[in-house]
Amino acid sequence: RRIWEWRHAGGAHLYNRNPKAIPYDEHYGWFTRALENPDVHFLTLIKAGYPVGYVRLDQGNKTAAVSLCISGLERGNGLGSAALRIAQHTAGQLGIDLLQVEVHSENECSLRLFRSMGYEEIASEGSFKRLQLKITARGDINDHQT
């Protein structure tokens, strides 16, 4: 339920490919299927013992799509960059060479975050920009910082 709430907090869902508010029952069905899928990796962000967001990797062959969501109360507190460093480390451990993300062109905070982490824009389609990051190191989390 928290993930569903985070997705809708402050109108964040308006920047998704599907900008409509999703009924909780639909979300629950999707989430249950995603948890059962071995190619979907959820990493929960914990701060002071409480979940405050997640980063998800939808793994393909050597590529993964990145999805990031931070609790409305925690946005703007630097958790996004920490979450992406952990996601990059996890991707390296999974043998993923390339991370990609689609960001709404009006979502300036997310664009700034991904660019600051070394993601480069490779395409633009409608209201969305596609960015990617090549994973070059497989070691410590600090190896992935830009």
Instruction: Indicate if the alpha-carbon torsion angle 8, 59, 130, 123 is positive or negative.
Output: negative
* Predicted local confidence at residue 131, as pLDDT: 97
* Predicted local confidence at residue 144, as pLDDT: 40
CB 82 within 8 A of CB 116: no
Q: Over the stretch 62-110, which tens digit does the pLDDT of each residue have? A: 999 999 988 878 888 889 999 999 999 999 999 999 999 999 999 898 9
A 10 A CB-CB count for 84 gives: 25
Q: Over the stretch 9-26, which tens digit does the pLDDT of each residue have? A: 666 555 666 667 788 999
Q: Which of 99, 119, 122 is nearest to 110 (CA)?
A: 119
* Predicted local confidence at residue 3, as pLDDT: 83
* Predicted local confidence at residue 70, as pLDDT: 87
Confidence of residue 6 (pLDDT cuts 50, 70, 90): confident
* Predicted local confidence at residue 140, as pLDDT: 47
Angle at CA 48, nearest 5°, toward 45 and 52?
35
Tell me: pLDDT of 143 over 60.
no
Mean pLDDT of 104-121: 94
d(CA 20, CA 43): 24
Q: What is the pTM of this model?
A: 0.84
Confidence of residue 141 (pLDDT cuts 50, 70, 90): very low
Tell me: pLDDT of 40 over 80.
yes
